[in-house]
Amino acid sequence: MNWYELNNIDTIDSPALLLYKERIQQNIDHAIYMIKDVDRLRPHVKTNKTAETCAMMMAAGIAKFKCATIAEAEMLAMLQAKDVLLAYQPVGPKAKRLVSLVEQYPQTTFSCLVDNIDTATALSDLFTSANKSINVYIDINSGMNRSGIKTAEAFALAEQLIALPGVQFKGLHAYDGHLRDTDLEVRQQKSNAAFAEVLALATKIETELNKPVTIVAGGSPSFPTHVKRNVECSPGTFVYWDWGYKHQVPDEPFDYAALVITRVVSIVDDQTITTDLGHKSVAAENPQPRVHFLNAPSVTPYSQSEEHLVLKVADSKAFKVGDVLYGVPFHICPTVALYDKAVVVENNEAITTWKVVARDRSINI
């Protein structure tokens, strides 16, 4: 029997998200082995959004986390995680919800990102009014051009942050998700060039402003380029892994720990079959193939709609209605968010389900 097959698959309706607990643990162990010092590991939980997976990381000694939403932050706080960085600049109602998190979960130290003085001032006013404070990291645009401030402008912002009440400047956040070169040496060179500016900025702040600076850097693709630096590393996808990263960054040791299952629901003709894996069941932001089937590697996605995935096959006689296909999503992170629960697998048996609790935009707050 293959590692991914379930003896009791007939008890699981499709489509479904499967989590392989032993493989999750192996991926956590690999990450810790790569960085050596678990205190420098700050995993991003945007991929898993699941309390039980985060609890596994905590049981392995991980105490710091990164997240993208208030719900993810609250999920971690409910687990009594020690240190949670909201890797997002909170504006509008989100900033007020962050105040509520700080008030309701005092055992967790929260922080967030800022990249301009106006947002920082708004946070200062909110937290000062609540008689609270929030740790902040300056979000650095290190080449991804999605958010953040250029390093040349960040020193002035650091000076302003230090003078604000209600906020505590903690360091720099540098996400380099654009660095996905398959050749690790090329990835390392590009990482070195981008990181040199961040390190120079940190050194200047520490020297001239007499403030210690913590640097939070990288994601899963750039993780190997940062592990030997004095930074906190923030891989996220590593815990489940997916087809995209497995082939884009093959040097990394992680294995598939999350799959989707689908069943053949119709035999259309001699070379066409249809399954129940539609847009609502696997991340659809990338072109086809959005999923690769471990037990049917030669099938080719032909078309997809909300509840159906049509596949071209060499000979449809090799399939029958009801056959189960085990698929690796190209992009696991948004795929997980499509499911309210995941089926947990151990030793080729589905043993329980875990709620994907932070797929919702709010839990309590």
- 10 Å Cβ neighbour count for 358? 27
The H-assigned helical ranges of 90-183 are 93-104, 117-129, 151-163
What's the pLDDT score for residue 319? 98
What does the DSSP 8-state code read for residue 289? P
Q: Which residue, among 329, 322, 363, 302, has the nearest Cα to 13 in the 3D structure?
A: 322
Fold: same for 9-16+255-359 and 22-239? no
Tell which phi-psi region holds residue 131, choosing left (phi > 0), alpha (psi between -120 and 50) or beta. Answer: left
Percent of the chain scored above 90 by pLDDT?
Answer: 99
Q: Which residue, among 76, 106, 73, 103, has the nearest Cα to 88 in the 3D structure?
A: 73
What's the pLDDT score for residue 250? 98
DSSP per-residue letters across 293-315: ETT-TT-EEEEE-SS-EEEE-S-
Q: What is the mean pLDDT of residues 140-164?
A: 95
What's the pLDDT score for residue 144? 87
Q: What is the pLDDT of residues 56-103, one digit of tens each?
A: 999 999 999 999 999 999 999 999 999 999 999 999 999 999 999 999
The model's confidence at residue 156, banded by pLDDT at 50, 70 and 90, is very high
Q: What is the pLDDT of residues 17-41, one digit of tens each?
A: 999 999 999 999 999 999 999 999 9
CA distance 22 to 272: 35
Q: What is the pLDDT of residues 241-299, one digit of tens each?
A: 999 999 999 999 999 999 999 999 999 999 999 999 999 999 999 999 999 999 999 99
CA distance 222 to 187: 7
Q: What is the pLDDT of residues 202-220, one digit of tens each?
A: 999 999 999 999 999 999 9
Q: What is the mean pLDDT of residues 104-127?
A: 98
Q: Do residues 195 and 215 make contact, with C-beta atoms less than 8 angstroms apart? A: no
Q: What is the pLDDT of residues 302-331, one digit of tens each?
A: 999 999 999 999 999 999 999 999 999 999
What's the pLDDT score for residue 213? 98
Q: Where are the domains of the chain?
A: 9-16+255-359, 22-239
Given a cut of 90, is residue 126 above it in pLDDT?
A: yes
Does the reported pTM lie above 0.85? Answer: yes
CATH code for 22-239? Answer: 3.20.20.10
Q: Which residues pair with 349 in a beta bridge?
A: 346
89, 115, 157, 172, 303 from 118: Cα distances, Å: 11, 9, 10, 18, 47
Please give the torsion angle defined by the CA atoms of residues 266, 257, 63 and 119, in that order, rounded to the nearest 10 degrees: -40
Q: Which fold has domain 9-16+255-359?
A: Lyase, Ornithine Decarboxylase; Chain A, domain 1 (2.40.37)
